[in-house]
A and B are shown apart, each in its own frame.
Chain A
Amino acid sequence: SYELTQPPSVSVSPGQTASITCSGDRLGHKYASWYQQKPGQSPVLVIYQDNKRPSGIPERFSGSNSGNTATLTISGTQAMDEADYYCQAWDSSYVVFGGGTKLTVL
């Protein structure tokens, strides 16, 4: 079965750039999406089709996808960005989520 691998945790200082990776076999040949989830809340879509932002998502969120790795980048990270982030892709008629990355802003 297809797997997406994320680092369990990433730390970043306020105002700096955070990068969260998501690895999977030939992931660059698929579309990657990213979700933000804060404690006790439902996931929120922040990036779809590798690098597109839904309406209402700040410009500091961006994405890329090439080779075997998709990357979510948060520029000028703010305290409010502290959350769990999940990547997602579609493979052979099913949805796959990465294990999630806890982003700590300190």
Chain B
Amino acid sequence: QVQLQESGPGLVKPSETLSLICTVSGYSISSGYYWGWIRQPPGKGLEWIGTIYHSGSTYYNPSLKSRVTISVDTSKNQFSLKLSSVTAADTAVYYCAKSREMASVSDAFDIWGQGTMVTVSS
């Protein structure tokens, strides 16, 4: 079955760039589906960051678009998130997730990673 695993530094300094990787197992990213990043600040709700297709097409949250880059590396079966100029407000659990339908960007996310906590602090 498809599994997703987030990885990356748990602590990032203010003004620096947060970088995370989502490794997909049990399915080849190059075969389809949309892949997303979602975050959740401590004690708060879910916030969508962005979504990428295996071809590289991207969709970003307008409120984060100027700071976000999502890319895909099909050779490693991974997709990644970069968030620049971070502040304490970017402290959150970051999840990667897979779309339920293979070719529908607007569909729900049916498989989620376990999440990784990222703290922004000096």
B-binding residues in A (CB < 8 A): 1, 31, 33, 35, 37, 42-45, 48-49, 54, 86, 88, 90, 93-100
Contact = CB atoms under 8 A, between A and B. Distances in A.
Given A1-B62, A97-B45, A45 B110 contact: yes
Given A31-B106, A99-B45, A48 B114 contact: no
Nearest to A99: B45
Contacts, number: 63
Nearest to B111: A45
Given A31-B107, A35-B46, A86-B45, 5 more contacts: A35-B109, A42-B115, A43-B109, A45-B100, A98-B45
Contacts of A49: 107-108
Interface string B27-63: 0000000001010000001111001000000011111
A43 B47 contact: no
Contacts of A96: 48
B105 interface: yes
A48 B47 CA distance: 18
B113 interface: yes
Size band of the interface chain B makes with A: 20 to 34
The secondary structure that dominates the B interface is loop
Interface of B: 36, 38, 45-48, 51, 59-63, 95, 100, 105-110, 112-115
A86 B40 CA distance: 12
A45 B108 contact: yes
The secondary structure that dominates the A interface is strand
Contacts of A43: 46, 95, 109, 112
Contacts of B61: 94-95
A42 B47 contact: no
Contacts of B46: 35, 37, 43, 86, 88, 97, 100
